[in-house]
Amino acid sequence: MLQVPSGTEFLATIRDATKRMAELAGCDATVAAQVALAVDEAATNVIKHAYRGASDRRVELRFLLATDELRVEIVDDGSPVDTRSLPELDLKRYASEKRRGGLGVHLMGRIMDAVTFRRTARGNVCCMVKRLGAGEAREAR
Amino acid sequence: MSELSVSSRELEGVTLVYPSGFINAHTVRVFEDELQKAMGGGCYRIVVSGQDLRYVASAGLGALMGVIEEVRSNGGDIRIAELNETVLNIFEMLGFNHLYRIFGSEQEAILSFREKAPTGAPTA
């Protein structure tokens, strides 16, 4: 488990730790970098939306290496987030509306094999799964 | 060490922007400022040269989206060059390769502004 303050300067720490975990799970460098990006995006959304930019909160990451998948949970105790399905990405409309945000969730969905959001007693939990080759099951704490 | 540094230079009427490092939510402002500097100087022919760009998150892509309409409405364009495989994959994942012209070399990107075809998204 990794817990960091909610400042954006810690996104690099989150990214590096995730990349390393993905490599340990057997991902090649390209896939590991992509998984790190997906987690970077999820953590950014926590900071921006659940914590509304506050840098004095905490972002918690849990990594579970299973036989055929790497599961990453990003947990925050911030405001509930809107987890309804996103509309299909329309880049031309994005450009015409000069929109900058909202792309991260689409990236997460394209990189990872499963992305789910739920609200628990702990707060918001974003769970992302990347399917792998065969390996040993173990929980990384 | 800073995670991102951005430099730029002008060549043949084109502003070349060189992001070096990582563009994400923490560093994107530095990249945005360089784009705005070019536009503020009246230069709307911009090449983002990614030879030292290691990683781009959606914040970086969003920075491009935030200015592309203004750039194109002023007769210019933002073209992309020399992306590494990781960054190119990110562009392709969201279909940005259909919205921006991406070149293998900086020189090709600069020369593309000499073409008589109208600026804008790739036609193919």
Domain ranges of chain B: 4-112
Nearest to B63 by CA among B86, B102, B103, B33: B33
Tokens read off for B28: 């994107």
Question: Using an 8 Å Cβ cutoff, are A75 and A122 in contact?
Answer: yes
pTM attached to this predicted model: 0.87
Q: Which residues of A touch B (CB under 8 A)?
A: 8-9, 11-12, 15, 30, 33-34, 37, 40-41, 44, 47-48, 89, 91-92, 94-96, 98-101, 103-104, 106-107, 110-111
DSSP string, A28-53: -HHHHHHHHHHHHHHHHHIIIIISTT
Tokens read off for A34: 């992509």
Tokens read off for A45: 């959304």
**How close B67 gets to chain A, by Cα (Å)?**
7
**How close A34 gets to chain B, by Cα (Å)?**
8
Residues B67, A100: Cα–Cα separation, whole Å: 9
Percent of chain A whose pLDDT exceeds 70: 80
Instruction: Please state which of the ranges A46-50, B28-32, B93-97, B118-122 shows the lowest mean pLDDT.
Output: B118-122
Give A140's pLDDT tier (boundaries 50, 70, 90).
very low
Q: What's the pLDDT at A108?
A: 94
Question: Who among B26, B58, B63 is closest to A104 (CB)?
Answer: B58
Instruction: Find chain B residues with C-beta within 8 A of A54's C-beta.
Output: none
Q: What's the pLDDT at B115?
A: 86
Query: Over A81-102, what HEC string results?
Result: CCCCCCCCCCHHHHHHCCCCCC
Assign domain A2-140 to its CATH superfamily.
Histidine kinase-like ATPase, C-terminal domain (3.30.565.10)
Residues B65, B68: Cα–Cα separation, whole Å: 5
Mean pLDDT (whole number) for B84-109: 94
Q: Is the pLDDT of residue A48 over 50?
A: yes
Mean pLDDT (whole number) for B43-63: 95
Q: Is the pLDDT of residue A112 over 90?
A: yes
Q: Which residues of B touch A (CB under 8 A)?
A: 3, 22, 24-26, 55, 57-59, 61-63, 65-70, 85-86, 89-90, 93-96, 98-99, 121
Q: What's the pLDDT at A135?
A: 40
Cα distances (Å, whole numbers) of residue A11 to A57, B50, B54: 14, 21, 15
Q: Report CA B112 to chain centroid distance, whole Å.
A: 14
Q: For residues A60 and A83, which has the higher predicted lDDT (pLDDT)? A: A60
Residues B37, B49: Cα–Cα separation, whole Å: 16
Domain ranges of chain A: 2-140
Q: What's the pLDDT at B118?
A: 53
Instruction: Find chain B residues with C-beta within 8 A of A89's C-beta.
Output: 94-95
Q: What's the pLDDT at A103?
A: 87
Question: Using an 8 Å Cβ cutoff, are A109 and A85 in contact?
Answer: no
Instruction: Please state which of the ranges A37-46, A101-110, A112-121, B69-78 shows the lowest mean pLDDT.
Output: A101-110
Tokens read off for B113: 């502004």
Query: Over B52-117, what HEC string results?
Result: CEEEECHHHHHHHHHHHHHHHHCCCEEEEECCCHHHHHHHHHCCHHHHCCEECCHHHHHHHCCCCC
User: What is the average pLDDT score of chain B?
Assistant: 92
The fold adopted by the segment(s) B4-112 is Transcription Regulator spoIIAA (3.30.750)
pLDDT in tens, A75-106: 999 988 776 655 667 777 676 676 667 789 98
Percent of chain A whose pLDDT exceeds 90: 70
Q: What's the pLDDT at A79?
A: 87
Question: Using an 8 Å Cβ cutoff, are B25 and A44 in contact?
Answer: yes
Instruction: Find chain B residues with C-beta within 8 A of A34's C-beta.
Output: 86, 89-90
